[in-house]
A and B are shown apart, each in its own frame.
Chain A
Amino acid sequence: MKLIYYELKKVLSKRLFISLCVFCFAVNLCAFYFTHNDYQAEMYREYHAEYEEMLRKYSVMKPDEVLSEILKDEEAIQIMYVMQDAAMGVDNGLYEFSMSKLEEYRKSNPEAYKKAEEMLVSYSDNETARYFRAVTKMQLEYLNEYPGFIGEMGQRARAQTEFSVFSDKDSFSYKNIMKTAEDYDVLQNTKITLGSDYPLVSALTYNIGDYFVIAIVFLACIYLFRFERDKGLSDLVRSSKNGRLKTAISKMCALLLLTVIITIIAEFSTIAESTILFGKWELSRPIQSIKDFQNCILPLRCDDFCLLYLIGKAAAMAALAAVISLVFIAVPSAVTSYALSGVVLAAEFALYHAVPQDAFFNHLKYVNIFYILDTSHFFGKYLNLNIFRVPLHSNAVTLFFALILFIVCITVSVVIFILKGQETARDPLSELIEKFFRSHAKINGSTAILTGELYKYLVSSRMAAVMLAVVIFAVSSSMGSVTYRTNEESVAVYRQYISQVEGKTPTQAKSYIENEKKAIDSADSNTVVQQNDLLPAEIALAAQNRANARKQGFDILYEQYIRLTQLEANGVSARFVDETIYADLVSNPFREWRSLLWCVLLVILTIPFVFTYEYRKNMIDLLQATKNGRRKLFLAKLTVAALSLIVSFAAVYVPFMVRFYRSFHTASLKAPLACVSDYSDSGLDISIGTAYLLETIAYFFTAIMAASLVVFISIYAKNHTLTVVFSAAALVIPLIVIYPFEMLRIGELFRDNTSFKLLAVITVTLVLSAILISLSMRKFTGRKEVR
């Protein structure tokens, strides 16, 4: 027990680890809020008290009474609308029509009429009530359908097996059908009830927190299994009395304990945040009361399901931790072990997300740790896997696999730890590179600090090879071309038209467009149908569709012509440009996101070498004791980091520019930005090329901010690997979070009020960069206390 305590202390005493945990939990909470910001989330956030009041009122009523109440309210709302029409239509015929309708309502349904009068007074509440009434109505529909869904499962199964395709008793399909019906039997007596679903569903389907937990677990594995190894202390530990088996078991226990606790804290905090934001949820409701969990065959209440969810997440993370620990223990080289762990995680992740659910070999998708990590789906959906034509429930198969994996990894890790010395080895590639540089690289005797820093970075840290690889990759990426594809025939037709008028002013293209318009208008698609013998309606439809596509394609061009003519009249030197190409050039959410991600990854992998070198080599105190060992040294290092950033940024962004130029040249880049309809409200009198350049500059400033953050972390962490892990958590995971939100791209800023927004982005990034750099400088150049 004491050993476990000391192993835990090794990790928990590290400020970086605690900082990472606090940072990740905080960012996770922010990310949850950020990703739940749509209309639905807003309604629950603002009005969950009113909704809970409504549910309390409905809880004492029977479902059909609730539905009747809701229908009455809906009727009252219809009457209220007529009242509003009457109020607005005093000066026209609408008033009399509305009043006569109201009179009819008053006689036929006085109760609803009175309610409508009350609703008219408090309009703002009505919208809330309307929204949640609609939510309740949908729930009631589900409540009504569910007993039939469960009760008739057997009947449906029998009906299916009567079909010859499913009647072969030896086939997987037949067995799957029968097993499914049997497994749902346990829910026959389940009574589902009304309640607030959104708080629980939003918490349980939120998976971004997993990435933060994985980052923390990764760091914990580094501290437990690599730290002593890298410091050369592992032999000392192994030579002690309990230095083998007991130490190995203690480390494993410490890792698992940390993993479980961190996972539970992360998930629990998400559930708590969701409850605080979106309101309470009924603990005792059967989980099947929530439509998202209709296919859950576990007869559990919501609170039990939450508990199972936490256990499932913790189990999956424990299995992951076991795999990572095995890699760290088995592989002597630090770099190789990190890379291999990354590859294993990435492979599992890719298989889970890329393999289709109905694929021939979907076992790769479902017998997967990331399937368990998608815990709401794992426990909330029903699925049988085809194992040698026998349907086995996916939960059982996957959990069994995870358990075996866990036991094997832990056992093998312990065995290797006991039997094998935990020395650190250099990876073979590093050996070769260093040998090459020792033979060929000569120091010219310069004592310049910048030269020294460049040498340390490029030669000693082997970044020259990385930079070279990056540049080679960038050059080869520049060779291709840019093609914009479409399956829309109308867009294909538009492109054919635009190739005739691109670069021309509206005046120059006028005669061509007007002639073409005449030809399109006079072509009667029905004539095409009537003039041939091919009669079936589908043939006529095909011909008509083609004619329509031609017209639609031309309509796109014609709208552009009208808009450009207007611009020309307003004094803009308007020209025809291919909207599909140039709108995409300025704003392509995926390309912008991916380019920034690549740039950030390169920054995270390369810049830490600049500031952590001396700490790795234990030279920092010696250097900082010299005359130029603080401020000048810091500035030199910053220069090297800046150069590295410039190379990384150029390697990511320049190839696309080159490919674009090779494909389309620059003629249309000089056209005003307003010529592209998406950016006609930008308010900027600049060309398309300038807009793209401004966007690139804004991204460069963003990259500077990212690099500044990495520098800051490097100086505080004083360790390359820890810097990488912390930077990845701080930069990469938030990037992943914003991926689905396409409006969060600099290209989107060009749609309106561009100058203000662009200025804001540049200012914020510059200010943050300045703060981070100055803090870094203060830390680096500050005096240390003697311990």
Chain B
Amino acid sequence: MKTKILICSILMLILTITLATCRNLEDTNNDPSLLDAQESCIGYQMNTRIAESKNSFYFVKDSFLYVIDKNSRKCMPLCSRPDCTHDKGNNDCDAYLFIADGVVNYSDELYFLDEETYNDENGQVVIVNKICKMELDGTSRQDVFKTEELRIWSFKLHRGYIYMLASPYNDDGSANGSHQNLYRVPIGKNGSAELFFEMSGNGHDYLDLRFFGDQMYFLTSEYVSDGKENYHFWRVDLSTGDKYDLNETLDVPVRNLYSIFNEKILFTSDKELYECSLDGSSESKIADCRSYADNFDWYSVISCDSKRLFIDATHDGDFEHRTWIVLDENYTPITVYTLPFKTITFSACMDDSMIVIDSERKELFYIDKTKLGCNDCAQLIYTFEE
């Protein structure tokens, strides 16, 4: 009897010490200004390549997570160990993320994709897709959501929910990238994800999912035949669950990347810049993009911050000489900037800074948006190792 009491007391003590070092894991932050910060960090589709916090930027390159300090404009792997060599083959590095190619900042925590595997009763490798989170200093990693039923391609977070672009594993065990659906699950809750939006038919792409307050917008392309595609531009009212295909009412449909700027939806079509209200009404043409910068084959609205709209202009098949047309709130051109970069990932960010990664030269640049167009606006701040 005494032995049992002794053992129980020891166990209680261990439990108490364990719980004392735990943190409150509940998510409570619904600050809208922070939530919308990720909207300016869109690369393409849903992928937020670069995350922004109050003092830093974060991005992933070659499975390593990097942090850029806004004040010093310095970059380094997010590893708090000065004795770490951040070797490519070294899984011990705190900055190493297995499969993630981007991170999302939500309530001052970084979220990223991960996966683990185990062998099932048939000896088959089962892949468990996970969404994990960690502190802004890269510590305290935790699993937030796990699933064996879905192959998660990308995700975003908004007002207490994780929205995932995922494909279900079929009976034949495949997760076909062409059969993607939109799922959501409350943050911090495990269990099955809710099928939030399903597209029927063959081959759909979900593109450019964005949030604005209680509204969600995304573009889907539906493969029809012979390389042709139909585009649907959806608005979902998150408070009621109602879904609307705005392309059914728009005279000029959205078939391209878009941004939400000045509380309007901005997009291009056939080299012309259009806007419409958030509910798809009051569509109007703003300008012919060629009036900003002539001689380009393609123009698309790619990003914005609170003060500037970015239009990407390229020649057909030539991704090396891209140009950005930067407009202010009145759609007056601020500058036309020919990028000195090739294959890039970028983030427009919420303030006057911009991060650009030149994948080909493996270089990271910091751009002062107020000096866009000047020769020295891009400051090289980091060179990645081979």
Contacts and interface: CB of A to CB of B under 8 A. Distances in A.
Nearest to A483: B173
Contacts of B192: none
B55 interface: yes
Contacts of A431: none
Interface stretch (A116-124, A224-232, A487-495, A699-707): A487-495
Interface size class of B (residues with CB under 8 A): 35 or more
Give the dominant DSSP class at B's interface.
Answer: loop
B259 interface: no
A331 to B, nearest CB: 10
A176 B80 contact: yes
Interface string B293-336: 00000101010000000001010110100000000000000000
Interface in B260-281: 268-270
Interface residues of A, number: 83
Interface string A119-147: 00000000000000000000000000000
Contacts of B316: 530
A533 B269 contact: yes
A180 B83 contact: yes
Contacts of B186: none
B43 A485 contact: no
Contact of A491 (B10, B174, B312): B174
A358 B298 contact: no
Contacts of A363: 21
B7 to A, nearest CB: 8
B177 A489 contact: yes
Nearest to B179: A492
Interface stretch (B64-72, B209-217, B233-241): B64-72
Contacts of A173: 80, 137-139
A444 B94 CA distance: 70
A486 interface: yes
Given A164-B56, A388-B21, A588-B123, A360 B85 contact: no
Interface string B139-164: 11110000000010000000000000
Interface string A152-176: 0100110110111110000111001
Contacts of A536: 43-44, 257, 300, 302, 312
Interface stretch (A99-107, A315-323, A590-598): A590-598
B141 A163 contact: no
Interface stretch (B124-132, B193-201, B242-250, B366-374): B124-132
Contacts of B23: 360
Interface in A467-505: 477, 480, 482-487, 489, 491-493, 495-496, 499
A347 to B, nearest CB: 13
A533 B298 contact: yes
Given A156-B82, A164-B55, A388-B21, A534 B176 contact: no
A110 B136 CA distance: 59
A173 B228 CA distance: 53
B119 interface: yes
A485 B44 contact: no
A644 B61 CA distance: 57
Nearest to A498: B172
Contacts of B81: 176-177, 180
Interface in B70-111: 70-72, 74, 76, 78, 80-83, 85, 92, 94
A619 interface: no
B3 A166 contact: no
B191 interface: no
B139 A164 contact: no
Given A542-B45, A591-B122, A357 B300 contact: no
B205 A416 contact: no
Contacts of B113: none
A625 interface: no
Contacts of B92: 357, 381
A594 B3 contact: no
B3 A416 contact: yes
A412 interface: yes
B256 interface: yes
B30 interface: no
Contacts of A157: 82
A180 B82 contact: yes
A359 to B, nearest CB: 6
Nearest to A358: B141
A492 B176 contact: yes
B379 interface: no
A740 interface: no
B284 interface: no
A499 B10 CA distance: 59
B82 A534 contact: no
Given A173-B139, A534-B257, A162 B122 contact: no
Of A382, A526, A536, A538, chain B has the most CB atoms within 10 Å of the CB of: A536
A485 B169 contact: yes
A483 B178 contact: no
B353 to A, nearest CB: 14
B122 A487 contact: no
A669 B313 CA distance: 57
Contacts of B69: 162-165
Contact of B55 (A156, A165, A486, A527): A165
Given A482-B122, A482-B124, A485-B124, A160 B76 contact: yes
A412 to B, nearest CB: 7
Contacts of B10: 408
A728 B10 CA distance: 32
Given A176-B80, A536-B302, A531 B139 contact: no
Interface in A321-370: 330, 356-361, 363
Contacts of B134: 358
A532 interface: yes
Contacts of B286: none
A492 B76 CA distance: 38
Nearest to B313: A535
A523 B44 contact: no
B23 to A, nearest CB: 8
Contacts of A495: 172-174
A537 interface: yes
B171 interface: yes
Given A160-B80, A489-B176, A534 B207 contact: yes
Contacts of B319: 537
B232 interface: no
A16 interface: no
B63 interface: no
Interface string A713-756: 00000000000000000000000000000000000000000000
Nearest to B78: A165
Contact of A359 (B45, B55, B142): B142
Nearest to A655: B121
Contacts of B338: none
Contacts of A159: 74, 76
B177 A546 contact: yes
A488 B227 CA distance: 23
A528 interface: yes
Interface string B1-30: 001001000100000001011110000000
18 contacts: A153-B83, A160-B82, A164-B70, A165-B78, A165-B138, A173-B137, A357-B92, A358-B141, A359-B142, A412-B3, A480-B121, A483-B173, A527-B227, A530-B316, A532-B255, A535-B256, A538-B45, A539-B44
Interface of A: 149, 153, 156-157, 159-160, 162-166, 171-173, 176-177, 180-181, 184, 294-295, 330, 356-361, 363, 381-382, 386-388, 408, 412, 416, 420, 477, 480, 482-487, 489, 491-493, 495-496, 499, 523-524, 526-528, 530-539, 542-543, 546, 549, 584, 588-592, 594, 655-656, 659-660
Given A483-B169, A546-B178, A656-B122, 11 more contacts: A162-B69, A163-B76, A165-B78, A171-B137, A489-B177, A534-B256, A534-B257, A584-B123, A590-B119, A592-B123, A594-B119
Chain A to chain B: the 10 pairs with minimum beta-carbon distance, closest first: A591-B123, A492-B174, A164-B55, A485-B173, A588-B123, A173-B80, A156-B82, A157-B82, A173-B137, A538-B44
